[in-house]
């Protein structure tokens, strides 16, 4: 089944559990949508990115969290609280993994390809940055649609709600956007208000403004480079 055919993904509500499995393909991003029955130990570390210091975590091979905690929250306690709040009672370790740096380097770049995976047992696609996510069917639909927003472009909350087939669910859409666990790579910052204001952002409106300005500048630079060629 393809994403274009149905947005009602047959997933259980909640963090983990049994479900049917469906495959979604959108642009250069593939998602195997299945609620995982378990999660391996999570490793995390703090990394410098073009948007400031980020908390990046993985289950060793797949990115499961990118967060921007701010200058006062670079502690083990903060990281473990953030991860426990999102993933429950899992083993959390402060440990550098190669995929962390790959994610840090990918942030803010227009040419990155990611593979979103919901089943920890699934193999990653060669050449793509693997991202492990879990969520409700509605959240997964929202996150998938976020990944369809091209680099340097924006959508309104209303447009996003319509695209997932729930035109009146603006508030629920906003809530799902706020629960996006992998900021930047799943580009929730590209959703803005219909009145032109950039709107709220889980990690702060100033950071959202920086992200949008960065992408706009990159898009213009790439266009100018293409014209010169």
With CA atoms as reference, report the closest residue to 63 among 210, 180, 215. 180
Catalytic-residue membership of 188: yes
**Catalytic pick among 64, 118, 147, 188:** 188
Q: Cα 159 from chain centroid?
A: 19
**Secondary structure (H, E, C), the chain:** CCCCCCCCCCCCCCCCCCCCCEEEEECCEEEEECCCCCCCCEEEEEEEECCEEEEEEECCCCEEEEECCCCCCCCHHHHHHHHHHHHCCCCEEECCCHHHHHHHHHCCCCCCCEEEECCCCCCCCCCCEEEECCCCHHHHHHHHHHCCCCCCCCEEHHHHHHHCCCCCCHHHHHHHHHCCCECCCCCHHHEECCCCCCCCCCCCHHHHHHHHHHHHHHHHHHHHHHHHC
Catalytic residues: 188
């Amino acid at each position: 089944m393809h994403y274009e055919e149905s947005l009602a993904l047959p997933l259980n509500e909640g963090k983990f559990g049994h479900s049917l499995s469906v495959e979604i393909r959108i642009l250069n991003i593939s998602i195997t949508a299945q609620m995982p029955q378990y999660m391996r130990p999570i490793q995390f570390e703090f990394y410098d990115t073009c948007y400031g210091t980020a908390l990046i975590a993985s289950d060793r091979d797949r990115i499961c969290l990118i967060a921007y905690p701010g200058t006062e929250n670079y502690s083990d306690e903060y990281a473990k609280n953030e991860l426990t709040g999102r993933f429950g009672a899992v083993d959390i370790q402060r440990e550098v993994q190669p995929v962390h740096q790959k994610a840090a380097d990918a942030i803010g770049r227009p040419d990155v390809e990611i593979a979103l995976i919901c089943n920890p047992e699934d193999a990653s696609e060669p050449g793509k940055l693997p991202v492990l996510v879990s969520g409700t069917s509605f959240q997964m639909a929202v996150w998938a649609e976020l990944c369809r927003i091209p680099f340097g472009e924006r959508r309104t909350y209303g447009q996003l709600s319509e695209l997932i087939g729930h035109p009146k669910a603006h508030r629920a859409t906003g809530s799902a956007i706020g629960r996006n666990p992998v900021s930047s790579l799943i580009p929730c910052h590209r959703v803005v208000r219909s009145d032109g204001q950039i709107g709220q952002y889980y990690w702060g409106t100033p950071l959202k403004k920086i992200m949008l300005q960065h992408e706009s500048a990159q898009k213009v630079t790439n266009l100018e480079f293409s014209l010169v060629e």
